[in-house]
Structure 1
Amino acid sequence: MTGKPAADVDVAVVGGGPVGLALAILLLQSGASVRVLERRTVRSSHSRAIGIHPPGLAALEGTGVTEQLTREGVQIRHGEARSRERDLVSLRFSNTSTRYPYVLALPQERTEHVLEDRLRALDPRALRRGWTVTSLADDGAGVTLEGTSGGEPVRLRASWVVAADGARSALRTMLGAGARGRRLKDSYLMGDFPDTTGDGPVGVLYLEPEGIVESFPLPGGKRRWVVHTRTLHADADAKDLARLVRQRTGRDIDAAGHTMLSAFSVNTTLVRELVHGRTVLIGDAAHEVSPIGGQGMTLGWLDAAELAPLLAAGLRGEDISSELGQFTRRRRRAAQIASAQAQLNMALGRPLPAGVMQARNLVLASFFQSRRLGDAVARRFTMQ
């Protein structure tokens, strides 16, 4: 009688973004053998995600990179909502967490760099770039992945596979994983510019009739600006973004000094089942939420922190089927809460007639005079 083929590796992680890298580190530290299969041959320098919430920093503690990230990032301990230059609401994050009383701002490119360095220190062979997975086959004892690398066919067999390959997950499609998703009506234009505001390490929201303008500090004397637009401005340039910021807020920003520009619309996706045999979906592959509020990366790290010990137990021969079912229920619930929060954030930033906006802003300002209420909102904003 012919047995099932032996696995080449304990866990194959498809996707070498921040979530896949963090999971691989946690698994390597548990004693598992891991390969991270990443389609990109080089890391993208186009950073959308910048916010790391306190639960994300806590989830990363097990990887050993939290201290370096907090040293390099900007610690946003205070947030403000304004209308033009009139202060409306002030939020303090000092009461949201005892360990991390702030939101950490650090470009995703740098976060990935730190995680990749840690991964390579544990196993220089773990990350395989230029690997495109084209098929997977699960025989109950393991999963065989086939694909291409450098134009040549490649094959890898793993005891477990984790799909961390993003919102347009190829593995999710191969698995036929049922997902509920939709495109929302909101569009945004964002970019990184030299910080000439004098606001320091403060996050600012401008609640204006034509739509919200968000402003967040970044390392290196830069600041990210995000502007709500009525339609997708796919062909916009830095001068267009600077013009919109000036029109709505009165702020002048240096268009010539910009280092990143992106226009995007908003999609949401939630997979019904995260576990398919010996393949598990995490991060954006399992639940895409609006980037407004910066919750997506933290959600993925929380997935990874919960999944890693389960897979380690499974590799030791323990039956983890019940625990994986609970994992799906908990992570879906967390994604639903984050998505609802993000959609509330977006609703707050949509255009309104000037008179209606002014009345709404006055109500908000009155509402947040309660420090207790402000602290509760700050905890929710930071995913506490």
Structure 2
Amino acid sequence: MHDVILVGGGPVGLFAAILLRQAGLDVLVLEQRTARSVHSRAIGIHPPALASLAQAGVANELIRRGVRIGEGVARSAGNDVTRLSFTDLECDYPFVLAVPQIRTEQVLETRFAAVAPGAFRRGVTVTAVHDIGASMLVTTSTGEVLQARLVIGADGGKSTVRSSAGIPSSLQRYPDTYLMGDFADSSADRSTAVLYLEPGGIVESFPLPDGVRRWVVRTSSLVVSPTPDVLAGLILARTGVRVDVDSISMLSAFDVHRRLAQRLVSGRTVLIGDAAHQVSPIGGQGMNLGWLDATELVPIITASLVDGRDVGRDLVAFNQRRRHAAVTAARQAHLNMALGRPLPRPVLSARNAVLRRCNAVPAVHDTIARTFTMQ
């Protein structure tokens, strides 16, 4: 009998497991993948999430491995429209940290192995989760049956835990599609994030460690068979920037949807991360939302399983707050996507002028900076 079985060993699941183990709980993590993905998918860690990661003892190591983004700039037709600084934010980490997800997972896995040796099992596919009242039964594809006092689902948008618990979820698809890739950084932008606001649609550019830069381009439709040349051509046509096609280290095309579980708590089952809520990756909020879910959830679980407290009301409040946070993030992501859609040059120029004037007001600038860093 484990205290907690955590299904899903990605960055959110590993982080939650570390906090649970640090609180003195017996936790087992089951991960379907036999190895980490080599693609650097999520890359942005926002200030509130860094503060949470510090509780798990991994923030400093991630900062050492990442790039601190202290400023963002919007450009159009070769000229800077406006700048957004994060360095004056009143928080412990006044920057957005750019780290490839594979490195983030490596750091978290190493930390979990230190606090709970042997408690992370790869290549285990969970087929069903059963609430038997006093405990939970977790079955795997090999027929193994495991038991725990509580199950946490951090197993992604197609969550088996969510389905087994009978928790409905709403799904909304957006028309926006994107093509992204990582190239050697030959720009002079260094640690600055750049948004190119162009008539054909937005192009985003973010620094990564080891002299790499990520490019994300809005496309008119999903590119079924993406190639480095296609992405490089779109970047050049819209921004005038040439990237080294031969230096590409990651390439991916994706569309966008939003999913929200009707509830995050059902009996002895709790959902966090993408299992509970998926938002558009434009804005980089998804992984951060999951970490903040875990930060709020673990003290409640500890109060229940360690101290024996009745935490029913706490779980109700947790459900309400985290669903509200997910809805807020989804709205912000919707706005981010709307700002990146194609516009005729005259309309785009007029909108850019409004953005420039608004951002010149200190109070507006600070509000925008806090919004984009999830504060």
Is 1:135 the counterpart of 2:100? The answer is: no
Is 1:222 the counterpart of 2:212? The answer is: yes
In structure 2, relative to structure 1, the CA distance for the partners of 1:52 and 1:97 (3 Å cut) is: farther
Partner of residue 42 from structure 1, selected from 31, 35, 40: 35
The question of whether the paired residues in 2 share the 8 Å contact of 1:96 and 1:382 is answered with no
Who is 1:69 aligned against? Answer: 62
Whole-angstrom CA distance in 1 between matches of 2:146 and 2:40: 30
Whole-angstrom CA distance in 2 between matches of 1:362 and 1:309: 47
Partner of residue 279 from structure 2, selected from 289, 296, 309: 289
Partner of residue 180 from structure 2, selected from 171, 190, 198: 190
Who is 2:116 aligned against? Answer: 123
Who is 1:325 aligned against? Answer: 316
* Counterpart AA for 1:80: V
The question of whether the paired residues in 1 share the 8 Å contact of 2:47 and 2:91 is answered with no
Q: CA offsets, 1:20-53, max 9 Å, x none?
A: 0000000000110010000001111112100000
Is 1:106 the counterpart of 2:99? The answer is: yes
* Counterpart AA for 2:164: M
* Counterpart AA for 1:246: L
* Counterpart AA for 1:290: S
The question of whether the paired residues in 1 share the 8 Å contact of 2:8 and 2:29 is answered with yes
Whole-angstrom CA distance in 1 between matches of 2:87 and 2:175: 34
**Offset of residue 84 of structure 1:** 3.0
Q: CA offsets, 1:302-361, max 9 Å, x none?
A: 000111111111112221111101000000011111111111011000011122112211
Partner of residue 25 from structure 2, selected from 20, 23, 32: 32
Whole-angstrom CA distance in 1 between matches of 2:66 and 2:265: 34
Who is 1:362 aligned against? Answer: 353
Whole-angstrom CA distance in 2 between matches of 1:268 and 1:205: 23
The question of whether the paired residues in 2 share the 8 Å contact of 1:53 and 1:103 is answered with yes
Who is 1:5 aligned against? Answer: none
Q: CA offsets, 1:97-148, max 9 Å, x none?
A: 3310100000011000000000001122110111111111111211000012
* Counterpart AA for 1:322: R
Who is 1:3 aligned against? Answer: none
- Equivalent residues in 2 for 1:260-279, closer than 5 Å: 260-279=250-269
Identity %: 54
**Offset of residue 243 of structure 1:** 0.4
**Offset of residue 96 of structure 1:** 2.2
TM-score of the aligned structures, taking structure 2 as reference length: 0.98
Whole-angstrom CA distance in 1 between matches of 2:355 and 2:182: 29
The question of whether the paired residues in 2 share the 8 Å contact of 1:78 and 1:92 is answered with yes
* Counterpart AA for 1:351: P
Whole-angstrom CA distance in 2 between matches of 1:84 and 1:252: 15
TM-score of the aligned structures, taking structure 1 as reference length: 0.96
The question of whether the paired residues in 1 share the 8 Å contact of 2:232 and 2:243 is answered with yes
The question of whether the paired residues in 2 share the 8 Å contact of 1:54 and 1:97 is answered with no
Partner of residue 210 from structure 1, selected from 192, 200, 207: 200
Whole-angstrom CA distance in 2 between matches of 1:208 and 1:173: 42
- SS of the aligned residue for 1:187 comes to strand
Whole-angstrom CA distance in 2 between matches of 1:174 and 1:160: 14
Who is 2:248 aligned against? Answer: 258
Whole-angstrom CA distance in 1 between matches of 2:90 and 2:53: 15
Whole-angstrom CA distance in 2 between matches of 1:142 and 1:247: 58
Q: CA offsets, 1:193-245, max 9 Å, x none?
A: 00001111000000000000000000000000000011001211111101000
- SS of the aligned residue for 1:131 comes to coil
The question of whether the paired residues in 1 share the 8 Å contact of 2:128 and 2:160 is answered with no
Is 1:22 the counterpart of 2:26? The answer is: no
Partner of residue 156 from structure 2, selected from 166, 172, 175: 166
Whole-angstrom CA distance in 1 between matches of 2:64 and 2:198: 34
The question of whether the paired residues in 1 share the 8 Å contact of 2:273 and 2:290 is answered with yes
Whole-angstrom CA distance in 1 between matches of 2:212 and 2:39: 15
Post-superposition, which runs of at least 4 consecutive aligned residues in structure 1 deviate over 2 A? 95-98
What are structure 1's unaligned runs of at least 5 residues? 1-7
The question of whether the paired residues in 2 share the 8 Å contact of 1:26 and 1:308 is answered with yes
- SS of the aligned residue for 2:177 comes to strand
Whole-angstrom CA distance in 1 between matches of 2:24 and 2:91: 31
* Counterpart AA for 1:336: V
The question of whether the paired residues in 1 share the 8 Å contact of 2:130 and 2:165 is answered with no
Who is 2:83 aligned against? Answer: 90
Whole-angstrom CA distance in 2 between matches of 1:155 and 1:140: 16
The question of whether the paired residues in 1 share the 8 Å contact of 2:2 and 2:26 is answered with yes
- SS of the aligned residue for 1:153 comes to coil
- SS of the aligned residue for 1:197 comes to coil
